[in-house]
Homo-oligomer: A and B are copies of this chain.
Amino acid sequence: MSGVVVQQIERADNSVINGLAHCGVSTVHEAQGRTGLMGAYMRPIYAGARIAGSAVTISAPPGDNWMVHVAIEQLKPSDILVIAPTSPCEDGYFGDLLATSAQARGCRGLIINAGVRDVRDLTEMGFPVWSKAVSAQGTIKASLGSVNVPVVCAGAHVNAGDVVVADDDGVVVVPRANAVDVLAKAQAREANEADKRKRLAAGELGLDMYKMREKLAEMGLKYV
């Protein structure tokens, strides 16, 4: 089942991808019905990055990063690498050399359910990574995995070409086929929130704005 590289994958339009990046993880996650979120243990190596891109997926043996080299050849500008080891691992699969190579092909960042290293260099390069761990522990090149096959990464199912959005709130996966629709809903949420934000900043209460008082009383809430 492993040992396969899928070369042709479909990607969402760049304008859709960039629109999703702009909305950010929490808004996109809400917009698609609260699905596709990776585990909260996936943390960025530095604060402030907000990216989206098409997933180039890697199913990798634990402690073996050979397939990363294979995957980099498949990268197109705006892509994001998504690495899912086949058993739990926190070794450092990826460092500054691989990042240099990926960045040279237009890759926007890395999502890895394992470890990353050279984080100071990656930070200086502006190559963002969301990972389970930071670890200097290197990996080997002994076994095959696959590239651009479906993977489960940090609890989320990812198909190659799905749109991955990542920021300080975490990482969410948008199935490619839904990307246009999810973007529309996310932008609608944003517009809607801008107005609410103003009213709340002015001191209006959510209790009133959302008309919650009656429902709460009916449920039996008691003020004492």
Contact = CB atoms under 8 A, between A and B. Distances in A.
Interface of A: 1-7, 24-26, 29-30, 32-35, 37, 39-40, 43, 46-48, 50, 61-63, 66, 69-70, 72-73, 86-92, 95-98, 100-101, 103-105, 115, 117-120, 123, 133-138, 140-144, 150, 152, 155-157, 167-170, 172, 193, 196-197, 200-207, 210, 212, 216, 219-224
Given A169-B135, A170-B135, A219 B3 contact: yes
A152 B157 contact: yes
Given A136-B26, A207-B69, A212-B69, A100 B201 contact: yes
Given A101-B206, A104-B201, A157-B157, A5 B221 contact: yes
Given A1-B32, A138-B29, A200-B100, A219 B144 contact: yes
B144 A202 contact: no
Given A144-B220, A212-B66, A88 B39 contact: yes
A30 B2 CA distance: 13
Contacts of A86: 34-35
